[in-house]
A and B are shown apart, each in its own frame.
Chain A
């Protein structure tokens, strides 16, 4: 009988009851006796010298406890927010790493850069007083876009970083690529922009700092995806607090999409200020503050060229990308447009030679870092747009061109020319499932039907592969990571047979409390209700790396499996002793410990009780207790992959694009909970569609003011913007190097969707001769494209 809460069961998310009924406990829900409130004074200028700060009047305002500045932090020797990844330029020089203080000292470098903090009895009082802090700014010209920042004579974001260039990096074999291009029968070329996005987690960032005078212990409660990483970075580099005196708690967190990975200045400020004022200090971002200060995503400008032989076989790919870093380096920023991007440029294709160059640029904008997909959507978008251009130019059917160039399943494991080794994947199979699913052959008829209604119709593909489950620590280290990337777990059986699992992964919407519990339920036959998943508190869980890069199940889940292996080994020994059998004769069947060939059996509950009440226990061989810890360091990345197909309908009169249908066929390896996987795909697809059609972060190119600083102007996709999705997956290609065979599904939807939508949009517009359109395909952009390509006499 299948375990109703085991692997493969669509168990409803246990955490949803509390989330949906407003009973979650988020950082802002936590209040401490004597708590004070922090409000930041932020720069209204993109670039300005701070020549003086007069807080005298603010200090007199009702309820004000302190007004603190960068100078105060300097006096207390507070350090700079560290960057967790070091890239080296082509010439071997290390990337430029300017200091990034939690509160700016003498220069503000983006609109929203913190300049001072007011701490008061209430939030309103702090806001009132913040208006009274007199900051003397000397406004400086700003370098806003990456292209302008690179131009000679552009204003310098950091005086000592010439040309605003953080690094000029490359990957691949330039000579081999040049040679292949020289042989090419056809070269497809494309310039494209992957626009900047605002992450928009539903819960804004918040942080609560506390200091216990008696024990000297600091506690930071924060909206983080990885509390141990924050403890390490903030403790060791910023505030100089040793780990045993610093606790970081990330309670319920309402979405992150990457933006809550990073160590932000506000976290350090509240922790530091709590000791200074001797009271807890809380800060919660307002939505407009989130727009201004959460690390943004994407922001690439690229040129790409694909060389083909006369049959459309890909010979080589050449890519040059300019990546906007913003004003400072956010925690993982340098890794995103490099090792999480260029390494994926092979996509699903056996292109033998690839060369990518990436220039990372400082600008007077908020830092840019990982955002759902982080580098991989940028890679997928570039390749898949380019392949679509190649198909159009060569006249080869776009599905066929892809199929012709796929890495065949028989070639696995496959070493790409850009550093990765794919373990498994059957890309042709994904396509084979997708084509009938979307009735590819019926497209012409559907297009004709749309045309009868005066509408344009297009179909677009995106095949993607991503490197998830980041990462083997030795590989990451060799590529510049300044941290390991393993995961931790502890599986603790209690005397009466219930279980607490402590995981270093962090759930902020992913459903770990359900999926992880299913692993335990499957293994030991315990009902899921008896399994508690604990995460997010450095004082409870072993050192963990947290959740991002679709790594929780592949890395965190594998750590749980390893800990369960240890539990099982010990439990077998205890069972052998209790049942007076040889350990070798104990088998685990449906969660029961059975003496092979007999009906003598124990449940894990029986064994756990004996482990904690060791009256009949092999004490000379074993310690009491049933509580095991494990760390899992992956052997390779995992490689989720899939084929997404989108159909759009466009109203040529207005330029409005409507997603008519969307099908996603994915290979996530083994699926633990299909319901959760489908939910992750749905959310990812909407996010990818959001980038393709709606979302666009716009700064004024001169002043550096954020023009899309609220939902009145920053367009998020809504439920009524998207169709009902068709989602399929297959489990034929499990990951070969982790114990669960899982690959990860958290980012896949976002990675494939944008390219599929844009390919469909351009396809629909191809009858006007449109060959490319940058995202987002807003009504006006589409209308302008049609207009540009419509001969004047045919305009009416």
Chain B
């Protein structure tokens, strides 16, 4: 790790102001990605601005037909929240399936979506649950937030403050985890809003995407077996030592089936 100066602002305004003052500042969420990056000397920020003491970034509220989750909410807090378990149980179970206990106790929703790891879980929920990402300066539709591998619609220095998820009629998330890291090799979030079905896929491609064919099929016939004929193209999917593109394509269908089954 290279030396840096550490700051702990008490408000979003202070965090914004602090960012303006330094040459190469970096926001610190739960540190689960950023700290290993620093330890490996792959980044060299001049200043770290810890978002952990800002009350505005905390908390889970039921609000406007959905849930608003503060950016600094840890994965374990989402997983164990009574409100989340009652309103969108699929979101709680997604959070419970992230990494391991240590990671869940530290990692945050904001850090996860800002990092936009192609194999992260939350992006699938953001897209499937028609979320809105709130920042210190605007609101961004969940569908527009993830723009590529490790890329988001955020501008430099923009701070995510909360994510608002819409409450679906029913929803479920099925994940096939990487046995080593426990990130998603493929994760499929299925959510039903009236006649609309959303199928968001993470892990498989460079960034989260919606499986349009499956959405159309399920909108007609919401059964796991309806997906039997669905074939997912391996073109453009990720391939690594853990899973080829073919295998990922296959898993998308299997996980989609499981998510539909879990919707009941």
Contacts and interface: CB of A to CB of B under 8 A. Distances in A.
B241 A783 contact: no
B247 A780 contact: yes
A714 interface: yes
Contacts of B41: 127, 131
Interface in B170-207: 176, 179-181, 183
A694 B241 contact: no
Given A654-B251, A778-B242, A784-B247, A796 B1 contact: no
A783 B247 contact: yes
A267 B235 CA distance: 50
Given A124-B1, A653-B254, A780 B176 contact: no
A311 to B, nearest CB: 42
A288 interface: yes
Contacts of A783: 247, 250
A711 interface: yes
A713 interface: yes
A759 B228 CA distance: 32
Instruction: Name the residue in B1, B179, B181, B251 with the highest tally of chain A Cβ atoms < 10 Å from its Cβ.
Output: B179
B5 interface: no
Interface string A673-714: 000000000000000000000100010000000011001111
A694 B179 contact: yes
A187 interface: no
A775 B175 CA distance: 24
A477 interface: no
Contacts of B183: 712
B36 to A, nearest CB: 9
Contacts of A713: 180-181, 241-242
B102 interface: no
B244 interface: yes
Contacts of B3: 124
B180 A715 contact: yes
Interface in A629-661: 653-654
A8 interface: no
A708 to B, nearest CB: 7
B228 A796 contact: yes
A711 B181 contact: yes
A426 to B, nearest CB: 38
Interface in B229-264: 241-244, 247, 250-251, 254
B244 A780 contact: yes
A128 to B, nearest CB: 8
B254 A698 contact: no
A124, A698, A713, most chain B CB atoms within 10 A: A713
Contacts of A509: none
A124 B38 CA distance: 13
Contacts of A124: 1, 3
Best-buried of B1, B41, B250 by chain A (most CB within 10 Å): B250
Interface in B130-183: 176, 179-181, 183
Interface residues of A, number: 23
Contacts of A712: 180-181, 183
A614 interface: no
A779 B179 contact: yes
A529 to B, nearest CB: 36
Contacts of B244: 780
Interface string B18-55: 00000000000000000000001100000000000000
A654 B254 contact: yes
A784 B3 CA distance: 47
A128 B2 CA distance: 8
Contacts of B2: 128
Contacts of B179: 694, 715, 778-779
Contacts of A708: 241
B215 to A, nearest CB: 21
B216 to A, nearest CB: 20
A780 B1 contact: no
Interface in B1-18: 1-3
Nearest to A287: B39
A713 B183 CA distance: 11
A577 B210 CA distance: 93
Nearest to A651: B254
B181 A698 contact: no
Nearest to A776: B179
A711 B1 CA distance: 19
A127 B41 CA distance: 10
A573 to B, nearest CB: 61
A779 B250 CA distance: 12
Nearest to B255: A654
A707 B254 contact: no
Interface string A51-76: 00000000000000000000000000
B242 A780 contact: yes
Contacts of A698: 241
B153 to A, nearest CB: 27
A716 B100 CA distance: 14
A503 to B, nearest CB: 37
A292 to B, nearest CB: 13
Interface string A116-130: 000000001001100
A778 B185 CA distance: 13
Contacts of A784: 247
A696 to B, nearest CB: 8
A780 B249 CA distance: 12
Nearest to B186: A654
Interface string A759-789: 0000000000000000000111001100000
A564 B247 CA distance: 62
A712 B241 CA distance: 11
Nearest to A715: B180
Contact of B180 (A654, A711, A780, A796): A711
B178 to A, nearest CB: 8
A707 B241 contact: yes
A653 B244 CA distance: 15
Interface in A711-748: 711-716
Nearest to B176: A654
Interface string B201-230: 000000000000000000000000000100
Nearest to B100: A718
Given A124-B1, A712-B180, A288 B40 contact: yes
Contacts of B180: 694, 711-716
A132 B176 CA distance: 43
A288 B180 CA distance: 15
A11 B109 CA distance: 47
Nearest to A718: B100
B10 to A, nearest CB: 30
Contacts of B251: 654
B47 to A, nearest CB: 18
Contacts of B241: 698, 707-708, 713
A288 B41 CA distance: 13
Contacts of A654: 176, 251, 254
A23 B241 CA distance: 39
A220 B179 CA distance: 39
B253 to A, nearest CB: 9
Contacts of B243: 779-780
21 contacts: A128-B2, A653-B254, A654-B176, A654-B251, A654-B254, A694-B179, A694-B180, A707-B241, A711-B180, A712-B181, A712-B183, A713-B180, A714-B180, A715-B179, A778-B179, A778-B242, A779-B176, A780-B244, A780-B247, A783-B250, A796-B228
Interface of B: 1-3, 40-41, 176, 179-181, 183, 228, 241-244, 247, 250-251, 254
Given A707-B241, A784-B247, 17 more contacts: A128-B2, A131-B41, A288-B40, A653-B254, A654-B251, A654-B254, A694-B179, A712-B180, A712-B181, A714-B180, A715-B179, A779-B179, A779-B243, A779-B247, A780-B242, A780-B243, A780-B247
Interface of A: 124, 127-128, 131, 288, 653-654, 694, 698, 707-708, 711-716, 778-780, 783-784, 796
Give 4 closest A-B pairs by Cβ, nearest first. Answer: A715-B180, A712-B181, A780-B247, A715-B179
